[in-house]
């Protein structure tokens, strides 16, 4: 069994060794050769939904994402046809939990993954599918989008910006009926090998929206998917984000023009501070939400700018002095530049060491297909004997023998094949 000790000056997370206050002890576990779903609660787990039952919506959708499960999807076979790819696991997740999973066209569907999660919400399981390919997730309507991290981060914000424009720009007779029509929840469904322009045409027909600038969408063939119970804004955004695009309303909400989003993508809001304690509210937001910027506001108010998800948390922090229910403060891990690493092992698998480091907040990003094509195997064993070395020295000793280059940014380690 491999033991890695990671040290830093700061809060300690995990198990302490020998009464010390700054040692994080990692115990590398053996890979469990199990494939499938293991209920996290042993007593009478609920019967899984039928594979042909409707996908979840509304409260059912949110409950499905919050349920705790344990999964172990491990590639044990050398047969490529039996490997777990992100496309296969996305489909499997949709079948197991009946939540729509939309895989962005830019994510290589053949990327092979190993996913082992114990007693975590389904939402986190889906996020664990995205991270190895440099992606992220976003909940839009009743669908979970998996795509490039940058676009996944701002997708919900783009949806909200388009909804705000809808309220602001549609005027005149019949306004209320038109807005209600565009916000009516309908389902978009398409089969494999469909062209994205056909998906947009389906959206156009359902919400009676004329789509301009279709030439911005190149010819392509998509895998089948379903967007259950989405508004016009959500359906359009789920398609256009896959080209890094958004849209603008035209003709009083009767049409759209496809455009590139203005970056950085963000929203601005003002909230009244609890008890008028503006400075205390601003300090709390700064402490909890590093990605939110402060803006000028009126007396007793706090002005903030950031992505939609962060502003929902900021609103509760400012108005109530605490995070919203179900939103836990993220565990803060220090950047790798502040850590020191100690490891003595005669035969330790690189994959086991990486897995345990991930439990301390380390994120490994690499092109799985390119790494495999270069013959790099993370199940290779290494011999290491280092004491209190920097991240640069530790990862050099760990990855150089595999023929990999690395770069460190915060808690992210980006790996690439040496040329």
pLDDT interval class at 328 (50, 70, 90) = low
Q: What is the pLDDT of residues 43-69, one digit of tens each?
A: 334 444 555 689 999 999 999 999 998
Torsion of CA 365, 68, 311, 143, to 10 degrees: 80
- pLDDT recorded at residue 197: 96
Decide: residue 57, CB within 10 A, 0-12 exposed, 13-18 middle, 19+ buried.
buried
Contacts of residue 4, Cβ cutoff 8 Å, sequence gap at least 6 = 25, 26, 28, 341, 342, 343, 353, 356, 357
Question: In the predicted model, what is the mean pLDDT of residues 169-174?
Answer: 82
Q: What is the pLDDT of residues 217-263, one digit of tens each?
A: 999 999 999 999 999 999 999 999 999 999 999 998 999 999 999 98
Question: In the predicted model, what is the mean pLDDT of residues 264-277?
Answer: 95
> Crossing angle of helices 149-169/308-320, nearest 10°?
70
pTM check: above 0.75: no
Round the average pLDDT of the chain to a whole number and report it: 84
Asked if residue 68 lies in contact with residue 41, where contact means CB atoms within 8 angstroms, the answer is yes
What is the residue extent of each domain of the chain? 3-30+339-417, 49-261, 267-320
pLDDT interval class at 343 (50, 70, 90) = confident
Q: Would you say residue 5 has pLDDT above 60?
A: no
The fraction of the chain above a pLDDT of 90, given in percent, is 59
Kindly report which listed range (137-141, 156-160, 211-215) carries the lowest average pLDDT score: 211-215
More confident residue, 17 or 143: 143
CATH 3.30.1860.10 fits 3-30+339-417, yes or no: no
Q: Would you say residue 268 has pLDDT above 60?
A: yes
Between vectors from CA 83 to CA 80 and to CA 84, what angle results, nearest 5°? 150
Give the separation between CA 369 and CA 358, rounded to whole angstroms.
Answer: 21
Number of other residues whose CB lies within 10 A of the CB of residue 128: 20
More confident residue, 15 or 224: 224
């Amino acid at each position: 069994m491999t033991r890695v000790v990671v040290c830093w000056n700061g809060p300690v997370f995990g198990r302490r060794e020998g009464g010390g206050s700054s040692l994080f002890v990692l115990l590398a576990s053996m890979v469990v050769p199990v494939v499938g779903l293991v209920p996290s609660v042993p007593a009478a787990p609920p019967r899984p939904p039928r594979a042909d039952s409707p996908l979840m919506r509304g409260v059912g959708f949110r409950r499905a994402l919050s349920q705790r499960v344990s999964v172990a999807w491990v590639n044990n076979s050398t047969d490529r046809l039996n490997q777990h790819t992100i496309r296969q696991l996305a489909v499997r997740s949709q079948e197991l939990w009946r939540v729509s999973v939309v895989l962005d066209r830019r994510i290589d569907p053949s990327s092979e993954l190993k996913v082992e999660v114990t007693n975590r919400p389904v939402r986190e399981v889906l996020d664990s599918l995205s991270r190895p390919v440099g992606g992220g997730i976003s909940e839009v309507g009743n669908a979970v989008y998996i795509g490039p991290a940058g676009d996944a981060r701002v997708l919900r914000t783009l949806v909200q910006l388009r909804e705000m424009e809808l309220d602001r720009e549609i005027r005149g007779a019949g306004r209320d009926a038109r807005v209600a029509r565009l916000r009516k929840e309908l389902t978009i469904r398409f089969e494999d090998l469909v062209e994205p322009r056909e998906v947009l045409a389906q959206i156009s027909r359902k919400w009676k929206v004329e789509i301009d600038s279709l030439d911005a969408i190149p010819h392509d063939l998509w895998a089948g998917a379903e967007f259950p119970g989405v508004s016009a804004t959500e359906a359009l955004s789920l398609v256009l984000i896959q080209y890094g695009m958004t849209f603008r309303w035209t003709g009083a909400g009767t049409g759209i023009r496809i455009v590139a989003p203005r970056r950085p993508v963000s929203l601005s809001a003002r909230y009244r501070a609890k008890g008028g304690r503006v400075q205390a509210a601003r300090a709390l937001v700064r402490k909890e939400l590093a990605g939110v910027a402060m803006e000028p506001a009126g007396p007793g108010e706090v002005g903030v700018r950031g992505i939609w998800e962060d502003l929902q948390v900021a609103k509760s922090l400012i108005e109530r002095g605490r995070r919203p229910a179900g939103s836990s403060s993220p565990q803060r891990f220090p950047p790798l530049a502040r850590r020191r690493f100690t490891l003595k092992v005669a035969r330790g698998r690189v994959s086991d060491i990486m897995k345990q480091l991930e439990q301390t907040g380390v994120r490994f990003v690499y092109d799985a297909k390119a790494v495999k094509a270069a013959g790099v195997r993370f199940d290779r064993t290494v011999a290491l004997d280092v004491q209190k070395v920097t991240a640069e020295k530790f990862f050099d000793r760990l990855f150089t023998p595999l023929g990999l280059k690395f770069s460190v940014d915060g808690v992210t380690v980006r790996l690439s094949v040496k040329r």
